[in-house]
Structures are given as C-alpha cells and as structure tokens.
Chain A
Amino acid sequence: MDSIVFLILRQMRAPLLLLTTVYAIATLGLTLIPGMDDKGQVWFMDFFHAFYFVSFMGTTTGFGEIPYPFTDAQRMWALIFIYITVATWVYTIGTLIRLWQNETLQKALAEHRFQRQVRQISEPFFVVCGYGNTGSRLVKSLRKRLIRASVLDLKQDRIDALMLAEHPLFLPGLQADASTPRNLVLAGIMHPKCKSVVALTDDNAVNLHIAITVKVLNPELKVICRADSHEIEANMASFGTDAIIDPFDSFAKDLGLAVDYPYQYMLSDWFRNESGEPLAPVMQLPKGRWLLCGFGRFGRAIHRELLDAGMTVQVIEPNKALLNLPVNAVIGDGTEAVTLNQAGVGEAVGIIAGADDDSNNLSIIVTAKALNPDLFVIARQNQQANSRLFAHPRAELVMEVSDVLATKIRTLLTNPLVDDFLSLARAHDDSWAQNLTERIRKISPLGFPEVWECVIAADSAHAVSNALTKGTDVRVEHLTHDHHDRDVSLPVLALLHSNSQGAFCMPSGHASLAVNDRLLFAGSAASRAQMQWNLQNEVALGYILTGASLPQTWLGRWLQRSNS
C-alpha cells in the first residue's frame, strides 16, 4: 500500500506545485490592488477575503464581488486568474485521472486487494494456479461445497470470469504469473490455513516451477500437479510433489481395469461422481480387435493398457514418422472410409477416436458407425465447449481432459480417503465389487450417495473422543445407529477405517475406534447429519452405548448417584 501512496504523491507533485503557486499569486495580487469601499474610500482587501474570493473563483468562477463591488483593476486581475485557475484545475484533475488509469497503479491496487482478501481467509483453503477448463471446474465444485480457494491465472479475462461466476462464496483471484514465488506468496502459500496448492496451468514447465517453489518455501504444504509428460512427472516426483496427475494415463488405467473388472471400474467411476449424480450402469468392454485413431500421448497410454489387457489393437495415425509407431499401423486420419476399411473396421469390436482435434474425432465416430454400427465407441473430447456435440449418444464413453483432471483433484482435495479406499478395493475380486455396488444402490437408489470423512478428534467428534479417553469401547457400529432408537441402523456404509495399524476396507461394525482414527462413510445427507449427533453429543452417544439416557445436569447426576 505504501508504494501506491508514494506513486500517487510523486506523480501529483507538479500539478500541486502549480496549483499552490497560482492560488498564492492570485490571492496576493488581490490584497495589493486598491479597491473602493461603499463610502468611496480606498480599501485594500485582506488575505481572508482574498483567499475566500480566489477559492470560489477557481472552482466555480464566482458568487459575485465581495465584500464591495470591484474596481476595474480588481476585475482585470480576477479575469486573468479565472482562466489560469480553471486551466490549472483541469491539468490537476487530468493528471489524477490519468494516474488512476495507469496500469502500474491498477496492478498494484489489484495485488493489494488480493493480498488483503487472502489474508482475511480464516478457514482452510486451497491455492489454484490456472483457471482454464480444469481450474474453473475444480473451483466450481469446491465452491459448491463451500470450500474456499485463491486463484492465480495469467489471463485477466479468466479472472474476470471468476469474479462474475454465480456462487455462494467470494473467492479472491489475481491476474499474475504463478511461476513467480512472490505471486504464490500473495496467493497464500505461507498462510497458516492453506491446505494445498494445485498447479493446473497449460504449461508443464510452469507447473513444475510452482511445485518446486512451494516445496522450497513451505515443505509442509501438499502439492497437486498436472503433468503431460513422463519426464516432467519424474522430475516433479523427485522433490516430493504429493500427487501428479496425468489425465491420459489416469483414464487409460481405468479403461484397462474395465476390461476384466467391470464392477471395479464402475466403483471407481461412481466415486468420482458428485453426490446425487445418476448411477451409471455397468460398462462391458467388448473383447477382440480394437481400432485406435491417433497415436499421441492419449493413444499411447490407451495402447499400452489395452495390450496389457490382452486385446488386439490396430493403430491408425496420420504421421508415419512418429516414434514407436507399431509397424502394422495404418497411415491416415481415420476420418475416411478407405483408411478405416484398410484397418479392418468390419471385424473390429470397438474404436477409439483419440485425435487432438474434436471435429476429426466426431468425423471418425460418424464414419466408423456407418461402416459398422455395432462398434463400441470411445471418444476423446479436447474442448470443453464441444460437450453438446459429444453428448449425442454416438459414443459409449467420452474422455474429456478437464473433466478427468477436475474430478480426480476434487476427490484428492475434499475426500483424500476415497483414493485409499479405491486402491484397497482393487485387491478384491470383481464379485466383491459387484456386491458393494449393490449395497450402495440399496442405501441410495436415486443417485450417488454423499461420501464423507470423519476424524475421531476433540473438535470433530467431541463425544466419541471423550468416551474413548475415559476408556469406553466405542465401535464403528455405534456411529452407524440411530440415536432415536438404537436398534435401528442408519442407511450408511462404513467404507474405510484408517488407524495406527493401517487402513482397512469395509470395516466390520465390531472394529474398535481410537482417537485420531479416520473413517470414510457413504450414505444420505440426512444420515450424515444423524451421525453428527452420535459423534458430538454425549447424551446421544451415551444412549447408543448403554441404552440409557445419561443425566445431563450436576443435580441429575447427584440424584442418580444417591439412588444407586
């Protein structure tokens, strides 16, 4: 702020000097020029009246000649100075307006405002670098959960979009280069409430730089990065970036899973949903010969996974000079029937339109479907704006980069236990997963249930941690029963129990809790609220533990003691 004041003062020096001088001369002149009073005697105006007259002459050119009508000499002087003072004012105000529009000043003001807004955040928040497709999606879903974030982006129009977005909560944003440490500090990476930094810019090198900066300045902070190449990933991992997300790899891995474990795939697909979203049916990938159009980063990742899953993959790629291109690859776009026929579209079970151009991908889908209507189609969508085109039910599965990234990061930020749960779930077979999906459908038939984490600690589970410190045995089942009637269990599923010994998938109701345990539940919003009672309210928990209501007052306790 200091620098802004000094900038203004320095720029205003010349106009202020001029203004002072003009006023001084005009006032002095009026006191020196002889006037005439109402009795016709020579009269000299005093400084008080002269300054009064000059003040209103300069700004409004006058209330009249006071205290006596002017002589011609006085009028002459006033006439000259009316023009001079008005011109000086125009100059002064002009300078002030120009100064206000000055880019440096506006930038300094915006920075100052941003810094103040970030400093005032009093709840846990995230720093999001890059407000493109992915960043805006992520911020939107965080906002919906009333989680704060501060946003940095290189482009002013994106920051404007952030400010204009409809939302229940104000988020500070700044147009600035996120690779500069100073800007990251402004965004709050040293703020005690900052939880993690998400680097989602379009530039790999910038994401890398953000990760390094944060790890050097504040090693405690979690860093989540987007990476588009394996070298950058390795580099990021080398200095302890907490999560590196490659959208293509992540999608391809899930797809590989879907080949042999459709219900496992369905499970991980569900858990990327927001609560209330419809539950997708199981997706059965046909086995056999697949056509893969485009052998870029996406194509390569899919190629690897499908081969691992035992499929035959025929690559179609326009650039024959590409490194590592399979020898039997068909050269062409895949948008014409000739190339597709050459690749054997008739015998294929599915096609992946994986080019980095949306119109090509749409064209591939349409042509291929015309040649072989039974094809299973997977499409890569590059631009978020093209969603409507891909929403037409031509493709069985659409992969959109920003969607994959945003949902994955959202889960990491809001429910980190979900990832632990999913990786533990992979150890089980597919019928186990099928069983679990049926149980989820039973507790929440209309859409994906709410998933929440609960920590057994003094502030988030007051009653439970109190009971535990007193030595009472509290088990998972005590949390999942209704505090109105303890024989009724709430429609919730305990998905994960993480304690000092490790993490356990689908814990049994008899598992004992300890302080600092973390649990993951799925259920309706209402049962989540019900569970809060068991966690926080000693009477509710006491009833569930013993079946009796504990006296709440000192008098009640005393009476109970004397009765027994």
Chain B
Amino acid sequence: MNLEKVVFAFTIILALTLNFGFFTGDIGNAAHHNVYELYAAIFVNAIATILKFGDRTHMGAVLLAASLVADIQLVAAAGVWVFAVHVTDIGLTPATVASIVSLAGGAVIANTISVSLLVIETVMLRR
C-alpha cells in the first residue's frame, strides 16, 4: 500500500460520490440540489484533474480526458446557475434547475468512467 495511491483513488472516488450526491433527487426541484455540494464536486474534480497531470501512459491519458469532461460539465452547470440567479432575473425555476442537474448528470457519467478505469487497472495489476 502506498499513500500516493490512496490519495489518488480517494480523490477520484470522492469526485464521483459528491457529483452523484448533487445529481440525485427530483430533477426540477431546487430543494433537492444543494449549492455547497456542487461547489465541493467542482473543487474535488479540479483536484482529481491536477493529480492526473503528467502521466504518460495510455490509461493516464484516458483518465485525464474523463476528468476534463467532468470539469467542463460541472463548470457549465455552475455557469448556468450564476447566469440564472445573478446575471438575469430568471431565478431557480424548475427548468433552470433541470438543466443544471442534467449537466451535472453528464459529469457523473464521466466520473463513473474514471472510477471504472481505476478499478480495471487495479484488477489488472493484481497477479
């Protein structure tokens, strides 16, 4: 066991769980989706992305790509939120919440791929 591996796996899995936590709930209901959870998801995803920098293997490249996808999806979700609440007067209508949550849902898929790759790599390393 080595600490680096623990931190790495921890961050990737935490990125998925936080992301999923934000995503789950009624898609149009603002009360089911906490802004702090979205914030935490963005932060942990950013950390996960940076941790994947500089790995030249093929697996490393795919992991980095998946992370970048998740980042874009989550930042877009936050962007929609800011736009709806602060830039315009639309507010958190069910339609807005639905689009924020669906963007976060896309990020869940990307994060799931990351975690699956991590699991696959771990399984393959065991002899």
Contact = CB atoms under 8 A, between A and B. Distances in A.
A48 interface: yes
A21 B47 contact: yes
Contacts of A9: 53-54
Nearest to B44: A24
A142 interface: no
Contacts of B53: 9-10, 12-13, 16
A20 B56 CA distance: 23
B54 A20 contact: no
Contacts of B54: 6-7, 9-11, 13
Contacts of A28: 36, 39
Nearest to A5: B54
Contact of B35 (A6, A16, A47): A47
B126 interface: no
A6 B86 CA distance: 38
By DSSP majority rule, is chain A's interface helix, strand, loop, or mixed?
A: helix
Interface residues of B, number: 15
Interface in B84-121: 85-86
By DSSP majority rule, is chain B's interface helix, strand, loop, or mixed?
A: helix
Contacts of B85: 46, 48
A16 B50 contact: yes
Given A6-B56, A28-B39, A47-B39, A20 B50 contact: yes
B43 A24 contact: yes
Chain A interface bracket (under 10, 10 to 19, 20 to 34, 35 or more): 10 to 19
B42 to A, nearest CB: 8
A80 interface: no
A13 B51 contact: yes
Interface string A242-271: 000000000000000000000000000000
23 contacts: A2-B56, A7-B54, A10-B53, A13-B50, A13-B51, A13-B53, A16-B50, A17-B51, A20-B43, A20-B46, A20-B47, A20-B50, A24-B39, A24-B43, A28-B36, A28-B39, A31-B36, A46-B35, A46-B85, A46-B86, A47-B39, A48-B82, A48-B86
Interface of B: 35-36, 39, 43, 46-47, 50-51, 53-54, 56, 78, 82, 85-86
The 6 A-B residue pairs whose C-beta atoms are closest, nearest first, are A10-B54, A9-B53, A24-B43, A9-B54, A16-B50, A48-B82
